[in-house]
Amino acid sequence: MTITKVFSIPESKEYYFDEGCYILEMLNTEKDPDVSIARARVNVGCTTRYHALKGVTERYVIQQGEGLVTVGDGPEQKVQAGNVVLIPPETRQRIQNIGEDALVFLAICSPRFTLACYQDLEA
């Protein structure tokens, strides 16, 4: 597939997601079902809810800040700018901001993220 469009999503499109973070959907369209890219922002002192994605592999590309990530039954691991976290489908996950600034990362999902794949494990 050839992509011939440059996407530019304004900051005003950022929204709060009940998981516990702010999301800016940078690329998420039925026209490109193989991948979605969202920027996530976790405020200082906040932790996202435990959740999993059904049938979707997710990658966190940490851009700013410091956090503790939990994937599956593994131990918490410290993450910072430049780290990539690989999260297999159906795997429990959450991330906590332990820094002094916002924790910002790209959430890259394949296939693309839809609300139907989201499983809140704390509901």
φ, ψ of residue 93 to 5 degrees: the values are: -155, 155
Whole-angstrom Cα distance, residue 67 to residue 117?
A: 24
* Beta carbons within 8 Å of 2's beta carbon, 6+ residues apart: none
Mean pLDDT along residues 71-98: 98
Quickly list DSSP for 11-51. GGG-EEETTTEEEEEEE--TTSTT-EEEEEEE-TT-BPPPE
Per-residue pLDDT tens digits for 51-73: 999 999 999 999 999 999 999 99
Task: Count how many domains the chain has.
Answer: 1
* Beta carbons within 8 Å of 28's beta carbon, 6+ residues apart: 36, 37, 38, 112, 113
pLDDT recorded at residue 59? 98
Q: Is residue 77 part of a domain?
A: yes
pTM: 0.93
Instruction: Please give the share of the chain, as a percent, with pLDDT higher than 70.
Output: 97
CATH of the domain at 71: 2.60.120.10
pLDDT recorded at residue 46? 98
Q: Is residue 68 part of a domain?
A: yes
pLDDT recorded at residue 123? 82
Per-residue pLDDT tens digits for 12-24: 999 999 999 999 9
pLDDT recorded at residue 23? 98
| Domain span including residue 66 | 15-108
Q: Is residue 10 part of a domain?
A: no
Q: Coil, strand, or helix at residue 8?
A: coil
pLDDT recorded at residue 1? 56
